[in-house]
Structure 1
Amino acid sequence: MLGRNIARKSCASLRLYHSNPIEHVNPLHIKPLTYGKQSPQYKVLSLALQEYVPKHGFTERSIVESLNKLGYPSSMISSIGASNSPSFVHSSTAVMELMKFQLVDKRYRLTEGINPDITPHYKLPSLEHLLLKRLEMDKPVGEQLTDLMSQLAIPSGFLFETAIPELHRLSDDMIYYSNEKDHHDSAWYAKRMAVSSTYIGSQLFMAQDRSHDFRETFAFAKDKLHRVMRLGEYYNNTEEFAWYTLMSTVNLVKSQLVRG
């Protein structure tokens, strides 16, 4: 199929038809971010995510406090996220960049140190391990997930160009770097949709979870992954179904347009 030979045309949207090692090479910039790890933008957003987002959420206040602690002028916030689409609702382009950073940086950190090209397949981590590891990364901002996901789900250029592609890149990475057997053609889509569904459902659960250390979320995630991957059970949550259907439909339409 043509898709097997089409390289990703932009950092914001499309992947190869099947997993391919060229898509998982560690770059100097962690696309779709436009700056490297030594840049002021990366340092500001990284600190904001670690220290201030858990307290203040995905807001300009978190970014400004990070700027102040690092000794940068508060006016620098105007240059953060300048490459994003126009702001929506009450979120500035800087806040949009902070949300993008949350998605992209954690996706890259999830698979650091894993090399499927030299590691025997049976020694790679399980898909469940990577899913739970990614959810573990969300724990510090667990109380802010409701606001984050509500902002990401707003129909906008940011949703179509950043949130949707990042969800599918995450699912693809979790399968590629795990010992899960991959498939071709329609099964390729089905498996990635199952992983995306599981992660989104688990995030929605975590946003409302009040159990100690989110223990119920991790139990939910393991059970749901088993059901969708082994038993073929999809979409038993109305809110999850509506949110995920929007994202998967847009992404599949875009992929078909490229292939045509």
Structure 2
Amino acid sequence: MALSGLTGNVLFRWTPASRYQSTDAFTDDVDPKETQRLKDEETVYETEIRHKILDAALGYVDISGWSKQALAEGSESLGYPGVAHGLFPKGGVELVHHFYQQSNERLASELPADIQEAQLDPLKAKDDLKILRLAVEKRLRMNAEHVFTGKWTEAMGLMALPTNAPSSLKLLAHLVDDMWHHAGDTSPDFSWYAKRAVLAAVYKSTELSMMQDKSEDFRSTWEFLDRRIEDVRKGIAMAGGSIGQMLIPLIMQS
């Protein structure tokens, strides 16, 4: 059984699991496994609704920003009541993180074909920085629409708030890990962390450059990225071929 809104679309559902959650009466004969199954079903349903609303809300970011208003407009566009934004207790940052995660997944899906098209080989050490250069530009271009409209500044501000920073850093960590994976990294030692720290710094500094770039097709940003990649290459060479060794002096100074 489901409770429907005035529009006819189902948002909140009543199920046997709801009854078990609302009262302890008459539950002595309830099968715990069945109760858990119904609760899991309800969780899946709510997750699907959340994703639909988030996807729809992205279409309103240029007008309403990364906000509860955009979430409400996305909800209403699907026929759900505007109060459905209550499914997102953290507000607009959940929309930012949804977009970030979607973009990360898109990069992971498309990057192998781009690497092949560029005739690069993840198994060749000489190609790893070229692959990373390709990956960073491709991922940042996914933000371009929101950079043009000025909304990415708002997104970065939301992600940097203390309450949101842990989740934001986790998304960045997954992003740079995927990039290194596609570049063929299999390091089992300290350099695993060092490589990801260096790439995260390159990515974030290039992202900040992109925010201020007024050149055509972000030409200045990609030139900035080329210089950062070259800095990494020179640093590795000076450290005897190891990113881990390159970072040790910085760690000792901190």
Structure 1 residue runs of 4 or more that deviate by more than 6 Å after TM superposition: none
**What is the root-mean-square deviation of aligned Cα atoms in Å?**
3.1
Kindly name which structure, 1 or 2, has the bigger radius of gyration based on alpha carbons. Answer: 2
2:57 match: 48
1:216 match: 220
Find out whether 1:194 has 2:198 as its counterpart.
Answer: yes
Cα distance 1:148–1:46, how it changes in 2: closer, same or farther (>3 A)? same
C-alpha contact (below 8 Å) 1:100/1:163 kept by paired residues: yes
Deviation at 1:146, TM superposition (A): 1.8
Q: What is the TM-score when the length of structure 2 is the normalising length?
A: 0.62
- Percent identity of the aligned residues? 29
1:39 match: 48
1:178 match: 183
C-alpha contact (below 8 Å) 2:93/2:158 kept by paired residues: no
2:133 match: 128
Find out whether 1:96 has 2:114 as its counterpart.
Answer: no
Report the count of equivalent residues: 183
SS where residue 235 of structure 2 aligns? coil
Decide which structure has greater helix share: 2
Find out whether 1:57 has 2:65 as its counterpart.
Answer: yes
Find out whether 1:69 has 2:77 as its counterpart.
Answer: yes
User: Aligned match of 2:234 in 231, 234, 237?
Assistant: 231
**After superposition, what is the alpha-carbon deviation per residue over 1:204-236, rounded to whole angstroms, capped at 9, x for unaligned?**
1122222223222222223212322x1229xxx
Deviation at 1:114, TM superposition (A): 6.0
Cα distance 1:195–1:59, how it changes in 2: closer, same or farther (>3 A)? same
Cα distance 1:113–1:214, how it changes in 2: closer, same or farther (>3 A)? closer
Return the alpha-carbon distance in structure 2 between the equivalents of residues 207 and 199 of structure 1.
13
C-alpha contact (below 8 Å) 2:111/2:135 kept by paired residues: no
Q: What is the TM-score when the length of structure 1 is the normalising length?
A: 0.61
- One-letter amino acid of the counterpart of residue 174, structure 2: R
Q: Identify which range, 38-47 or 136-145, moves more after superposition.
A: 38-47
2:40 match: none
Structure 1 gap segments, 5+ residues each: 1-33, 83-92, 234-248, 250-260
Return the alpha-carbon distance in structure 1 between the equivalents of residues 194 and 139 of structure 2.
21
Return the alpha-carbon distance in structure 1 between the equivalents of residues 105 and 221 of structure 2.
22
Return the alpha-carbon distance in structure 1 between the equivalents of residues 210 and 144 of structure 2.
8
Deviation at 1:67, TM superposition (A): 1.8
Q: Identify which range, 137-146 or 207-216, moves more after superposition.
A: 207-216
Deviation at 1:115, TM superposition (A): 6.9
Return the alpha-carbon distance in structure 1 between the equivalents of residues 55 and 226 of structure 2.
29
Return the alpha-carbon distance in structure 2 between the equivalents of residues 144 and 106 of structure 1.
16
- One-letter amino acid of the counterpart of residue 166, structure 1: L
- One-letter amino acid of the counterpart of residue 201, structure 1: S
Greater relative contact order: 1 or 2 (C-alpha under 8 angstroms, separation 6 or more)? 1
**After superposition, what is the alpha-carbon deviation per residue over 1:149-190, rounded to whole angstroms, capped at 9, x for unaligned?**
22222222x212x011111111101110234x4433221122
